[in-house]
Structure 1
Amino acid sequence: MAEDVSAWRAGLDETFGQVADLFGRVEPRRWARAYLTGLLAPVERKNSWQLSEAAGVVEPDGLQHFLNRSRWSADSLRDRVRSYVAQALSRPDGVLVVDETGFLKKGAKSVGVQRQYSGTAGRIENCQLGVFLAYASPLGRALIDRELYLPESWISEPDRCAQAGVPETRCEQGVLTKPRLAEAMIGRALDAGVVAGWVAADSAYGRDGKFRAFCEARRLSYVVEVPVKQTVPDLDGRRRVDTLIGRAPTNAWHRASCGPGVRGEREYDFAWATLPAFDDDLPAGFVRTLLARRSLDDPTDIAYYLCFHPETVAREQIVSIAGARWAVEECFQAAKDQCGLDHYQVRKWDPWYRHITLAMLAHAFLAVTAATDPKAHAGWARSQSPTSAVSWR
């Protein structure tokens, strides 16, 4: 046990050593180290008061100064977190997973807060929404980027934004939808050399044609969920996805697991079809396909996915990428439960990004540490058998 603790501390020291220079002087560097340690400690609420107590300081003034006024860049730290994760977990079949999570708040002063739908709560709540990018591979998964969603109710009030410390350049951009924020994060990851073969996202992003076009322009394969009303090309026009899947013959459905869950393998029935192409916008060697996932317990419970990928990809890999989307939910749960991602009490723009990015670093440390477990090296199921150009697969 003592050896395990010693190894854990040595690993944390090595991880912090990769970012220590970003904090300039000795004092903010010490606070950053204490903050990171506190986020990983068994502290009930990882706010400035309890983190200060964990660091052996009675009052939280020093830590609050570190978050609010000390000179260091949360974006520079984000870049180091992304590199740290990519170096440890990168695989050619890695997946960039986009999703958002809500942070419930009281009052109207926390930057970006308003009454809006929170998937975390499952209802409309007074909350902030953060859009995140996770990296997932057979070695592990971790959050590598983040953006705070700024709704129209904030953009339309420049004085309110100024009081919350929102940069003028951000206000000038106007409302950036969640898919546009996702594109920015994916673009940053690719520009930084992150190796990823796929993008996965839920229907909030999958139904956005510009988001799919963004990925296709970069030859970045995707498996994105779409709503039941989504239309796709058919031989005699456009059809809703549920109509097209409703025509699938019985032998088009195949049972498969899209990955392990808390209750064992997540098994579903899947149907997969190539969509016809009537134009020349598809890159050579690529196809668009439609995947349907049907519940074993309730055959009327069907999820639909639009896919874009090389034509040689097989069903097993498409199914595994669809399942990989849950990686970001696992990241959210671990980062909140273990690293205090949602425990902050800051209200302004810079402190929000600073806390969130430090929590991402703490979670990345846990993910990379876990990647040393031999069980983490089990690969995802994949096949190199070619697929047909058209028809049910």
Structure 2
Amino acid sequence: MTGAPTETTQALWTSSLQEVKARIRPLFTQQRVADSASLFLDGLLGNEPRKTGWMRAEAAGDPGPWRQQAILGRGRWEADALRDLVRDYVLEHLADDEAVLVIDETGFLKQGHASCGVARQYTGSAGKITNCQIGVFAAYVSRHGHAFIDRALYLPKVWTDDLERLAAAQVPEGIGFSTKPRMAQDMIERAIAANTPFAWVAADSVYGAGHLETALRRAGKGYVLGVKGTHTVKAWIDRPWISGTAEQVAQALPLSAWRCCSAGEGTQGPRLHEWAYLELADLEASDYGLSATGLWTRGLLIRRRLVDGDLAYFTTWAPAGTSLEKLAWVEGHRWSIEASFETAKNELGLDHNETRSWHGWHRHVSLVMLAFALLAAIRHRAKALPCSKKQTQPLVPVQS
């Protein structure tokens, strides 16, 4: 972040960090616990490459990691209350009616079998089946910036079927097996209940098709959700009439059906792909609920990579007349959450959690979400600061 005078940006850092610390104070019943949480946040925002308990303790001037560990384990405070505080803070700075809620997951590589939710399972973080935890996240992406607003730890059936293992990891009673699409739906419902302004939901093929589609239609939200090539496609309108799998439909398309356009700006310029969009049915939104009215279109969006022709498929739901370019723009927002995972892991220690409990995972992740939200808010506010040609240094955290 550049453009504003160094003194101004440092003052913005200091005031923003102090404000956030003041906001989280009511979450803790004791001042000493609140102080430890403030130091924990400082550690996440610090320059140490590893955000382990010892590293954070050293940065805080503590003789050992015990105070830092207590925040995640022995302390009494609700991680979900912090999650909601983060969401409200994000909305204060980034809210926009046309925002996209992006759902995705990331893996946390682990050794052993005691960490809550750990199992041999596939994670895109490693590109293979490996020993890891899986966290499902919701990111709020708008024209003002992007930040995480929700998270949940996925528990495989090998965990939910083992009561002794659940108790050892301090999983609250009543927590059972939930599919990732169901977890995504819970997050969307929490966002809607909190009056979060957004118009679209984007997610990959883990979450596309099924109950999530129906829930979004009832909520009056448009979506671009990934589906597999085996997804059955059938048109109810002759534009043109089609029937088959998504892959079969894509292979049968004429050259004229494909258009090159951008899915948004990347680090090296526009993310250009070839796209095809087929309208499958025009339906009254009111048939699904009272949250939306008018004619909406169910469709199939297909993305073809320019380099190798690799295909990706998406089921869509949008107001009638929505353009291919608009749908490609919505799908492109998924890159924001992938970039967020990379930043949160590399800079804020998202995957440096050393605790094994349910509470420890959710507390650590929620604190990282707060740190990330702080960065997003400062970045957005810094853009409005007076510019100075003398400013050449990047904006860096200022500890308070």
Same fold, judged at TM 0.5 (above): yes
Give 5+ residue unaligned stretches, structure 1: 377-393
Q: Residues 267, 373 of structure 1: CA spacing in aligned structure 2 closer, same or farther, 3 A cutoff?
A: farther
Q: Is the 8 A contact 1:142 1:331 kept in 2?
A: yes
Instruction: Tell which has more relative contact order, 1 or 2 (C-alpha 8 A, sep 6+).
Output: 2
Shift of 1:270: 1.1
Q: How big is the alpha-carbon RMSD for the aligned residues of Structure 1 and Structure 2? A: 1.9
Aligned residues: 371
What is the aligned counterpart of 2:360 among 351, 354, 372? Answer: 351
What is the aligned counterpart of 1:326 among 332, 335, 342? Answer: 335
Q: How does 1:1-393 map to 2 (within 5 A)?
A: 1-170=6-175, 174-206=176-208, 208-234=209-235, 238-276=243-281, 284-299=294-309, 301-374=310-383
- Within 1, Cα distance between the matches of 2:35 and 2:255? 63
The residue identity in structure 2 corresponding to 1:286 is: W
Q: Is the 8 A contact 2:234 2:242 kept in 1?
A: yes
What is aligned with 2:393? none
The residue identity in structure 2 corresponding to 1:220 is: K
- Within 2, Cα distance between the matches of 1:142 and 1:279? 33
SS in 2 for 1:165: coil
The residue identity in structure 1 corresponding to 2:182 is: R
- Within 1, Cα distance between the matches of 2:68 and 2:306? 51
CA deviations 1:62-116 (Å, max 9, x no partner) are 2212221111110000000001101111111101000000000000100000100
The residue identity in structure 2 corresponding to 1:270 is: W
Shift of 1:47: 1.3
Shift of 1:284: 4.0
Shift of 1:375: 9.1
Give 5+ residue unaligned stretches, structure 2: 1-5, 386-400
SS in 2 for 1:168: coil
SS in 2 for 1:106: coil
The residue identity in structure 1 corresponding to 2:355 is: V
Shift of 1:16: 2.0
SS in 2 for 1:245: helix
TM-score, normalised to structure 1, is 0.90
Q: Is the 8 A contact 1:233 1:277 kept in 2?
A: no
The residue identity in structure 1 corresponding to 2:190 is: R
Question: Which has the larger displacement, 303-312 or 145-154?
Answer: 303-312
Shift of 1:259: 0.8
- Within 2, Cα distance between the matches of 1:373 and 1:292? 37
Q: Residues 358, 110 of structure 1: CA spacing in aligned structure 2 closer, same or farther, 3 A cutoff?
A: same
Q: Is the 8 A contact 2:283 2:297 kept in 1?
A: no
SS in 1 for 2:299: strand
Q: Is the 8 A contact 2:108 2:134 kept in 1?
A: yes
CA deviations 1:259-278 (Å, max 9, x no partner) are 11122211011111100369
- Within 2, Cα distance between the matches of 1:213 and 1:239? 21
CA deviations 1:25-66 (Å, max 9, x no partner) are 210110111001110000121011111111110111122122
The residue identity in structure 1 corresponding to 2:328 is: V
Shift of 1:315: 2.2
CA deviations 1:349-385 (Å, max 9, x no partner) are 1111100000000011011111124499xxxxxxxxx
What is aligned with 1:388? none
Q: Is the 8 A contact 2:45 2:371 kept in 1?
A: yes
- Within 2, Cα distance between the matches of 1:237 and 1:270? 17
Over 6 Å off, 4+ runs? none
Q: Is the 8 A contact 2:283 2:296 kept in 1?
A: no
Shift of 1:237: 7.4
Shift of 1:7: 2.5
